[in-house]
Copies of this chain bind each other. A is one copy, B any other.
Amino acid sequence: MNPEPPVSLWPDPEALGPVTDLYELTMMAGYFASGMAGRRATFELFVRKMPEGRAYLVFAGLEQAIGDLLRLAFSPEQIQAIRRWPEFGQLDPSVMEALAAVRFEGDVWSVPEGTVVFPGETLVRVTAALPQAQWVETLLLASLAYPTLVASKAARVVAAAGGRSLFEFGARRAHGPQAGMLAARAAYIAGFDGTSHAEAARRLGIPAVGTMAHSWVQSFGTETGAFEAYARVFAENTTLLVDTYDTLEGVRRAAAIEPPVRAVRIDSGDLGTLARQTRAILDQSGRSRVQIVASGDLDEYRIAELAAQGVPLDGFGVGTELVTSRDAPALAMVYKLVELEGEGKFKLSPGKKNYPMAKQVFRRRDPEGRFCGDQVARADEMAEGEPLLVPVLRSGRLVTGLPSLECIRRRCREQLAALPDRLRRLNAPPDYPITYSELLESDARRLMAR
């Protein structure tokens, strides 16, 4: 047995330098060693392809990514360890010194969080010295793709729920403890009303919601005893889980609690039928103000079905399906070199068309304010519509503060309200029109011809 203490895989937020792919570090070293570290590069982050079953995406995760860029650095221990790897051992000491001293001092433009976006659109544009711009690739992708996946799924759940309350319950099913926190925030941006994640709620100032587990009920001699004990402690903040033994029997016991509890939660069985029976029991017991919340493997389809049937459920707890984005757990988000020292760059892989040069995205609205099409243009062009990318960092520092979470959430609500109705349907085909400016097309043709 190993006498060492358990290895922690919680990175130090002050030393995220190597929280990236090794090749970012070897390329950085290579640029330093090849005298190319001063070249100014622009990379753009975008989604290559819409995930299965989505017609739009909600961009999220920027605040944490920017926070990480502001602190991005290597600790002395990290530099020592890297120096011992075969790739780095033979490098000129000046290269390791450059690596040890590097910070992110670039410019970042980004679409604001909460914006509805589509594949093929520049979402983040990074202009920096080549090693710095390369360094942040993996961290940006890892920080932005997952929250965007969850916010995009959450927006569908919100559309399906037709105004009923929604709570993010996925902490235990997310891909590790940090993912649960990222998911809570992304779901809130897209319109969820709260999260069960206590620390995410505390950090972000969003409502923390919770009920009880079956183990609470089982820890008492009787279900009524368990309910009474909980209500004695939490008074009007009590939500009782009623399906530990017989659900309807549980509802009757919950209805008898004095003073009345806030809500009951049903976590199993035929939710539609049980909810109707539960409502009837509660109403007959003079408990018409006691709410009913459902949970248990819910997704946007199941919720839409329950909502369409007019089932008397006041809220839903959504976990696994949301926080793993189970039907589309990966997003084809990429980060590509588009410009180096003012010269356009792009890659000519089959089926992977992209455009050279720093870009801006312009969104047009119809007379009712609905989005009717986006044009991707060069950053130095004017085009019709609202430019989506705004400056976030200049020379590695915040241009202004970042929007508050409430502000991001409001933006998201406005954005979702401005979506064409057809795109908000759960089975909508991803047909939002994206075009590229004539200047970009001719830049691409010119580069291709070479």
Which residues of A approach B to under 8 Å, CB–CB?
1-11, 13, 16, 18-27, 29-31, 33-34, 36, 39, 41, 43, 63-64, 66-68, 70, 78, 81-82, 85-87, 90-91, 130, 134, 137-139, 141-143, 145-147, 149, 169, 171-182, 185, 196-204, 208-216, 218-219, 229-230, 232-235, 237, 243-245, 268-269, 320, 324-326, 329-331, 333, 336-337, 340, 345-350, 352, 400-405, 407
Q: A21, B198: Cβ atoms under 8 Å?
A: yes
- Taken together as a complex, chains A and B put the C-alpha atoms of A320 and B6 apart, in Å, by 27
A97 to chain B: closest CB distance in Å?
15
Given A1-B400, A138-B171, A347-B244: A7 and B337 interface contact (C-beta under 8 Å): no
A47 to chain B: closest CB distance in Å?
12
Chain B positions within 8 Å of A215 at CB level: 27, 41, 43, 134, 336-337, 345
A103 to chain B: closest CB distance in Å?
16
A418 to chain B: closest CB distance in Å?
22
Q: A25, B142: Cβ atoms under 8 Å?
A: no
A16 to chain B: closest CB distance in Å?
8
Chain B positions within 8 Å of A8 at CB level: 13, 64, 67, 203
- Identify 26 residue pairs between A and B in the complex whose beta-carbon atoms are under 8 Å apart, listed by A's number: A2-B403, A6-B63, A6-B64, A18-B198, A19-B177, A19-B198, A25-B198, A25-B210, A27-B215, A27-B216, A29-B233, A30-B212, A30-B233, A34-B232, A78-B199, A78-B202, A90-B235, A134-B213, A141-B172, A175-B182, A175-B329, A177-B178, A178-B179, A214-B337, A218-B340, A244-B347
A210 to chain B: closest CB distance in Å?
3
Number of copies: 2
| Residue from B64, B134, B141 in contact with A9 in the complex, judged by beta carbons closer than 8 Å | B64
CB-nearest residue of chain B relative to A268? B349
8 tightest CB-CB pairs across the interface, nearest first?
A22-B210, A6-B67, A23-B210, A175-B175, A178-B178, A141-B172, A18-B198, A215-B337
Q: B13, A10: Cβ atoms under 8 Å?
A: yes
Given A22-B196, A81-B202, A268-B352: A87 and B143 interface contact (C-beta under 8 Å): no
Q: A137, B213: Cβ atoms under 8 Å?
A: yes
